[in-house]
Amino acid sequence: MTDLAQLVPYDEALSRYEPVIGLETHVELGTATKMFCGCPTTFGLEPNSAVCPVCLGLPGSLPVANRAAIEFTIRIGLALNCSIASWCRFARKNYFYPDMPKDFQISQYDEPLCTDGWLDVDVDGRAFRVGIERVHLEEDTGKSLHMGGATGRIHGADYSLVDYNRAGIPLVEVVTKPVAGTGVLAPEAARAYVTELRDLLRCLGVSDVRMEEGSLRCDVNTSLAPHGAADWGTRTETKNVNSLRSVERAVRFEIARQAAVLDAGQKVVQETRHFHEDSGSTTAGRSKEEAQDYRYFPEPDLVPVAPARDWVEQIRASLPELPAARRARLQADWGLSGAEMTHLSNAGAVDLVSATVEAGASPAEARKWWLGELARRANESGTELSQLAITPAHVARVSAMVRAGTLNDQLARQVLEGVLAGEGDPDTVVEARSLAIVSDEGALAEAVDAAIAANPDVAAKVRDGKTAAAGALVGAVMKATRGRADAERARELILERLS
Amino acid sequence: MSITRDEVAHLARLSRLALTDAELDHFAGQLDQIIGAVARVQEVAAEGIPPMTHAVPVVNVLRDDVVAGCLTPEQALSGAPATEQGRFRVPRILAED
């Protein structure tokens, strides 16, 4: 374990060293079937029920590549501004590990399908262009359970149990070029890149990009060099970074750790490190000394892939409006500043606000609820906004009721609470909780009279011209009507009676 | 082109094969001969001839993304030396550090 006392405070580390980061992101494609056979890719099936002779590597079986997976990879490459290879091959990556029953993984090595592109990301309002080195296609591995030992980890395990349902699911790896020049914003830049990539992949419809289910996984490379140094430092590769927040924390931790190593006059060891969600720290992984020797060679069981140029152009023409372009359009439509749009984007609220506006709310109303009350609720329950049990249509309906004067903001919050609690749609909640504003003048007048009668001292002050004191009477009316009175109208009635 | 005894030892380690010294000597010699024989192909004057991938030049053999039949878990596990909880049971992966 790393001694946490040996970390250099982040800002101090950045005052002496310049970080360079790089990201390798694995994405499980959302095809119906695996990369080289017709087994389904459904998540959560009974162990070893989505397997066949091909993905189990049984003798005599032959792989055949999935056309949809090739097309999805080309879509990703085009959206990332890459060149698409006119001819490329798969390669065998040989390694001794039981997560692939064949004892090798079919991947791409020196002939990736897509190369040399870029993705623009927004970091705290600053635009960074992240270079894309390559996008290649491979197959995912099986899942292992490590049994025995104290930790459930591979170290110290007595044996392992393997489920090959995931083995062979098409997996795309997106590799960035080294990202330099982010300085102190390196952790935010790493997170912003993965966020943008995730949104892009979702928009392309090629993956469900669920980090918690492992359909999007990140390895984060970090290195440090003294300011002004001619060469970059030695990098470490942190694996197992499986949330957006973790991407940021992993970079931050590695910068603090490597700065301490360099400050002590030691050298950073080029190694694989593991990220630990609980402590936010990284520890050295197993030695890669031998594992690096993958003995790649062209996969003899598959023929080359040579995407026809007209097919590639057809795919390019079918690309949807990409998130960056869409954000720019919505920002203009909604009349927001860049910072406001970034805030909306970081909160994961762009799609929700857009859908709420489509359902009839104004952009200001939609933003107000999603970034205010609902963001607070999501934060409290530790979930994403999009995971809340409320739809844009519900929010639009609540907005409409506020606009019509049926609800005030306080009542609207109660309606939202009811919808979130599963009490039904907004109209049902208003009905069941009797939340609509009391529009009946008679009922309101009764409440006003009762408030005046119950607070003679206050009423006297108002009669003497201290109209500010009327607030206490309005408060009493609101309390009596459980917040359902129109406060403005109540004030008018009070002042009329006490004038 | 030749292969050294050290390289054979390295390959044996990658393949988790426990070879004795005598076997290493024996296999290194044999592999060296095989590689020597195959290396003769490189003596062919192939200037300007691109390497072939397969005997017949074919590209884009692709399948549609349509689910086909799988094995049942029982069938899938039937050839496994050991199973547990519907999974393949394999020996310890990493040696103790």
- Give the C-alpha separation, A445 to A339, whole Å: 46
Question: Mean per-residue pLDDT for A270-286?
Answer: 87
Q: What is the pLDDT of residue A292?
A: 64
Q: How confident is the model at residue A345 (pLDDT cuts 50, 70, 90)?
A: confident
Q: Is the pLDDT of residue A291 over 50?
A: no
Residues A298 and A404 in one domain: no
Q: Is residue A330 part of a domain?
A: no
Q: Note the pLDDT of residue A85.
A: 98
| Interface touch A38/B97, C-beta < 8 Å | no
pLDDT of residue A95 exceeding 90: no
A328's tokens:
């720019």
- Per-residue pLDDT, averaged over A3-29, amounts to 89
Do A403 and A471 fall within a single domain? no
Are A360 and A423 found together in one domain?
yes
For the residues of B39-92, what is the DSSP string, one character each? Answer: HGGGGS--TT-PPPSSSS-----EE-S-----B-HHHHHTT-S-EETTEEEEE-
Q: Is the same domain home to A272 and A366?
A: no
The band of A286, judged by pLDDT with boundaries at 50, 70 and 90, is low
Q: Per-residue pLDDT for A440 more than 80?
A: no
Q: What is the pLDDT of residues A468-486, one digit of tens each?
A: 888 888 888 888 888 888 8
> Quick check: A66 pLDDT over 60?
yes
Q: Has residue A3 got a pLDDT over 70? A: no
Angle between helices A363-371 and A323-334 (to 10 degrees): 110
Out of B16, B71, B94, the one facing A155 most closely (by C-beta) is B94
Which chain A residues are Cβ-neighbours of B70 within 8 angstroms?
39-40, 49-52
Residues A305 and A384 both lie in one domain:
no
| pLDDT score, position A150 | 67
Q: How far is CA A290 from CA A271, A454, B14, in A?
A: 12, 85, 7
Same domain for A359 and A491, yes or no, is no
CATH architecture of B5-42: Orthogonal Bundle (1.10)
Q: What is the pLDDT of residue A170?
A: 98
Which residues of chain A are within 8 Å of residue B69 when distances are taken between CB atoms? 38, 52
Most confident of A77-86, A220-229, A344-353: A77-86
Mean pLDDT within A299-312:
96
Q: What is the pLDDT of residue B43?
A: 84
Clarify whether residues A58 and A132 are in a common domain: yes
Best CA proximity match to A356, nearest among A344, A346, A366: A366
Rounded CA gap, B62 and B55, in Å?
Answer: 19
Is A40 in CB contact (< 8 Å) with chain B? yes
In a domain, A244, yes or no: yes
**What's the token pair of residue A427?**
């109209």
DSSP classification of residue B15: T
In a domain, A360, yes or no: yes
Domain boundary among A315, A350, A382: A315
Q: What does the H/E/C string look like for chain A?
A: CCCHHHCCCHHHHHHHEEEEEEEEEEEECCCCECCCCCCECCCCCCCCCCECCCCCCCCCCCCCEEHHHHHHHHHHHHHCCCEECCCECCEEEECCCCCCCCCEEEECCCCCCEEEEEEEEEECCEEEEEEEEEEEEEECCCEEEEECCCCCCCCCCCEEEEECCCCCCEEEEEEECCECCCHHHHHHHHHHHHHHHHHHHHHHCCCCCCHHHCCEEEEEEEEEEECCCCCCCCCEEEEEECCHHHHHHHHHHHHHHHHHHHHCCCCCCCCEEEEECCCCEEEECCCCCCCCCCCCEECCCCCCECCCHHHHHHHHHCCCCCHHHHHHHHHHHHCCCHHHHHHHHHCCCHHHHHHHHHCCCCHHHHHHHHHCHHHHHHHHHCCCHHHCCCCHHHHHHHHHHHHCCCCCHHHHHHHHHHHHCCCCCHHHHHHHHCCCCECCHHHHHHHHHHHHHHCHHHHHHHHCCCHHHHHHHHHHHHHHCCCCECHHHHHHHHHHHCC
Determine the residue of chain A that is closest to B51 in CA distance. A298
Q: Do A425 and A447 belong together in one domain?
A: no
Q: Which of A282, A315, A348 represents a domain boundary (last residue)?
A: A315
pLDDT confidence tier of residue B41, bands split at 50, 70 and 90: confident
Query: Measured between beta carbons, which residues in chain A are less than 8 angstroms from residue B89?
Result: 159-162
Q: What's the pLDDT at A151?
A: 65
Cα separation of A404 and B1, whole Å?
A: 86
B59 and A CB contact within 8 Å: yes
Buried/exposed A413-448: b ≥16 CB within 10 Å, e otherwise? bbbbebbbeeeebbeebbeebebbbbeeeeebeebb
Banded model confidence at residue A289, pLDDT cuts 50, 70, 90: very low
Q: What is the pLDDT of residue B96?
A: 43
Q: Say whether residue A181 is in contact with chain B using an 8 A CB cutoff.
A: no
Kindly tell me if the per-residue pLDDT of A253 is higher than 90: yes
The mean of the pLDDT values for chain A is 91
Neighbours of A379 (CB within 10 A): 11
Which pLDDT belongs to residue A214? 86
Q: Is B86 on the interface with A (CB under 8 A)?
A: yes
**Separation between Cα atoms, residue B48 and residue B50, nearest integer Å:** 6
| pLDDT value at residue A152 | 66
Of B10, B67, B91, the CB nearest to A40: B67
- Is residue A212 over pLDDT 90? no
pTM of the model: 0.80
- Chain A (50-89) residues lying within 8 Å, Cβ to Cβ, of chain B: 50-53, 56, 58, 64-70, 87, 89
A326 occurs within a structural domain: no
Query: How many domains does one find in chain A?
Result: 3
Of the pLDDT bands very low, low, confident and very high (cuts 50, 70, 90), residue B95 is: low
Q: Is A88 part of any domain?
A: yes
Q: What are phi and psi of A298, to 5 degrees?
A: -60, 135
Range of the domain at A358: 335-433
Do A393 and A360 contact (CB within 8 A), yes or no? no
A367 and A422 part of one domain: yes
In this complex, the residue of B16, B62, B92 whose CB is nearest that of residue A67 is: B62
Q: Tell me whether residues A49 and B88 touch, CB distance under 8 A.
A: no
Last residue of a domain, one of A433, A457, A477: A433
Q: CA–CA separation, A10 vs A15, rounded Å? A: 9
Q: Are A476 and A361 within one domain? A: no
Residues for chain A: how many in total? Answer: 499
Tell whether A27 and A171 lie within a shared domain. yes
What average pLDDT does this structure show over A238-247? 90
Same domain? A232 vs A155: yes
pLDDT above 80: residue A354: yes
The answer to whether residue A322 is domain-embedded is no
What is the mean predicted confidence (pLDDT) over A171-194? Answer: 95
Q: Do B84 and A295 touch (CB under 8 A)?
A: no
Q: Is the dihedral of CA A475, A476, A477, A483 positive or negative?
A: positive
Token pair of A305 as six digits:
């892939």
Distances (CA, A) of A77 to A33, A72, A73, A132, A175: 21, 9, 6, 9, 11
